[in-house]
């Protein structure tokens, strides 16, 4: 049992319907120049943009805007933001939106005053630590899934190199504060909502399907998965169910704030494959994960049979009485598949804009990994073909 770890997470989470009321108090801890980073128009549509600008003005901040941060944020956008940070001597990057906006903010913070000549290569290819002075980040979360509001993760797409790469920064790049109000997620379109939900689910499963031990984390993850399944059903029936949306929102944060991974081996291969799928198709991240997961788990379950049996029993309540381990495990994967289909998630890459020609390119460019089974590029191609 690998049970040695360091856990340090200094992000302050402010959660609830009135959480925005705490923004002013948080802003007081930082200097005057704020980079307001956001995506498309959704924060304007729900009236959040106006509220945030009002609070910034009340707090006597100079607002510099970085609008138009796209889903799968690009390295070029990062460089644009880093330029603004330097030119306006930014004291705080306030990211308002979902994971893409927050990931982009972290990347901007790391790159703005980086001593590296080529920050892309240094941070996303060579995973160098960031030890120079960075710009603090605050977030206001409106879309749920990535967990970026309470971790150091930053997934950036380099369009020129056709690479979508995630890296995890250390705690100096965790948001200083994150403000979460479940009501802001009400108007997220169903497609984006379920995509985010599968992202959460995949974070949990990718930390779960590894190891042969019996770790606190396994129990926590089972609890989070069960909570997520129950509340997804509720939220699909009534998108304005505050309790369900609260559960999903907080579940997402806990799924990837590094806590449930403590002392545990992990297998992030599904994410690795999806990142290259995303680099080629720009698809919704969670939908890509949903499509890849079923053939991936069908390929690896024989090598981690006991854990897949446990998954079936504990998460999906499958009665294993008198059945072979193999069938229990497969029933668990079938239950997962049924959840994917009934929630309106994607099961084929074709729906995500993938062409047959892309499959070998995606397979070849994916980082190899895997825990129960070490994958080859040929294995990845097989997985991609199976869900094509």
Residues that bind its own copies (CB under 8 A): 1, 3-19, 22, 182, 213-216, 218-220, 222-224, 226-227, 230, 242-243, 246-247, 250-251, 254, 259, 262-263
Cβ at position 273, least distance to its own copies in Å: 29
Question: Among residues 127 and 242, whose Cβ is nearest to its own copies?
Answer: 242
Cβ at position 12, least distance to its own copies in Å: 4
Buried-state track 115-124, b at ≥16 Cβ within 10 A, e below 16: eeeebbebbb
Rounded CA-CA distance 251/256 in Å is 9
Enter the tokens of residue 238.
Answer: 């009534």
For residue 338, the tally of other CB atoms under 10 A from its CB is: 11
Question: Among residues 12 and 323, whose Cβ is nearest to its own copies?
Answer: 12
Question: Among residues 55 and 262, whose Cβ is nearest to its own copies?
Answer: 262
Q: Environment class of residue 129 by beta-carbon count within 10 Å: exposed (0-12), middle (13-18) or buried (19+)?
A: exposed
Rounded CA-CA distance 28/59 in Å is 7
Q: Are 202 and 293 in contact (CB under 8 A)?
A: yes
Rounded CA-CA distance 16/267 in Å is 33
Q: Is 156 helix (H, G, I), strand (E, B) or coil?
A: strand
Buried-state track 137-158, b at ≥16 Cβ within 10 A, e below 16: bbbbbbbbbbbbbbbbbbbbbb
Q: Give, as one character, the DSSP assignment of residue 123.
A: I
DSSP letters spanning 121-145? IIIIIS-----S----EEEEE-S-S
Closest to 299 (Cα-Cα) out of 322, 271, 269: 269
Rounded CA-CA distance 259/255 in Å is 8
Enter the tokens of residue 333.
Answer: 């994967």
Question: Among residues 12 and 373, whose Cβ is nearest to its own copies?
Answer: 12
Cβ at position 161, least distance to its own copies in Å: 36
Question: Among residues 321 and 357, whose Cβ is nearest to its own copies?
Answer: 321
Cβ at position 295, least distance to its own copies in Å: 29
Question: Among residues 181 and 276, whose Cβ is nearest to its own copies?
Answer: 181
Backbone dihedral region for residue 324 (phi beyond 0: left; psi -120 to 50: alpha; all else: beta):
beta
Rounded CA-CA distance 15/35 in Å is 23
Question: Among residues 7 and 127, whose Cβ is nearest to its own copies?
Answer: 7
Cβ at position 23, least distance to its own copies in Å: 13
Question: Among residues 152 and 370, whose Cβ is nearest to its own copies?
Answer: 152
Closest to 272 (Cα-Cα) out of 365, 385, 152: 365
Q: Environment class of residue 3 by beta-carbon count within 10 Å: exposed (0-12), middle (13-18) or buried (19+)?
A: exposed
Please name the residues in contact with 304: beta carbons below 8 A apart, sequence gap of 6 or more: 209, 210, 371, 372
Question: Among residues 15 and 186, whose Cβ is nearest to its own copies?
Answer: 15
Question: Among residues 259 and 361, whose Cβ is nearest to its own copies?
Answer: 259
């Amino acid at each position: 049992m690998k049970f040695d770890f360091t856990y340090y997470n200094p992000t302050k989470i402010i959660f609830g319907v009135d959480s925005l009321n705490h923004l002013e108090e948080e802003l007081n801890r930082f200097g005057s120049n704020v980079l307001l980073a956001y995506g498309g128009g959704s924060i304007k549509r729900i009236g959040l943009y106006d509220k945030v600008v009002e609070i910034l003005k009340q707090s006597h901040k100079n607002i510099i805007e970085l609008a138009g941060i796209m889903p799968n944020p690009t390295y070029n956008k990062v460089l644009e933001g880093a330029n603004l940070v330097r030119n306006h001597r930014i004291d705080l990057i306030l990211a308002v939106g979902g994971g893409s906006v927050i990931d982009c903010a972290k990347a901007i913070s790391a790159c703005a005053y980086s001593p590296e000549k080529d920050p892309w290569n240094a941070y996303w290819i060579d995973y160098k630590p960031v030890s120079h002075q960075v710009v603090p980040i605050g977030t206001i979360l409106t879309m749920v899934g990535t967990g970026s509001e309470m971790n150091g993760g930053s997934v950036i797409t380099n369009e020129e190199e056709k690479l979508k790469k995630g890296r995890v920064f250390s705690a100096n790049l965790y948001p200083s504060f994150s403000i979460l109000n479940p009501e802001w997620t009400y108007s997220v379109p169903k497609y984006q909502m379920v995509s985010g939900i599968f992202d959460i689910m995949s974070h949990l499963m990718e930390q779960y399907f590894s190891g042969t031990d019996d770790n606190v984390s396994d129990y926590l993850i089972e609890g989070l998965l069960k909570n997520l399944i129950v509340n997804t059903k509720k939220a699909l029936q009534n998108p304005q169910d505050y309790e369900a949306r609260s559960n999903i929102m907080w579940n997402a944060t806990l799924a990837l704030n590094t806590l449930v991974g403590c002392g545990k081996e992990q297998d992030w291969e599904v994410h690795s494959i999806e990142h290259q799928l995303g680099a080629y198709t720009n698809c919704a991240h969670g939908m890509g994960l949903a499509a890849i997961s079923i053939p991936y788990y069908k390929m690896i379950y024989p090598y981690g049979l006991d854990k897949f049996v446990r998954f079936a029993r504990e998460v999906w309540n499958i009665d294993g009485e008198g059945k072979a381990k193999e069938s229990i495990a497969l029933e668990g994967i079938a239950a997962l598949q049924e959840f994917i289909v009934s929630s309106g998630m994607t099961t084929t890459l074709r729906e995500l804009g993938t062409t047959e020609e892309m499959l070998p390119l995606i397979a070849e460019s994916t980082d190899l990994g895997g825990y129960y089974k070490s994958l080859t590029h040929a294995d990845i191609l097989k997985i991609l073909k199976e869900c094509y």
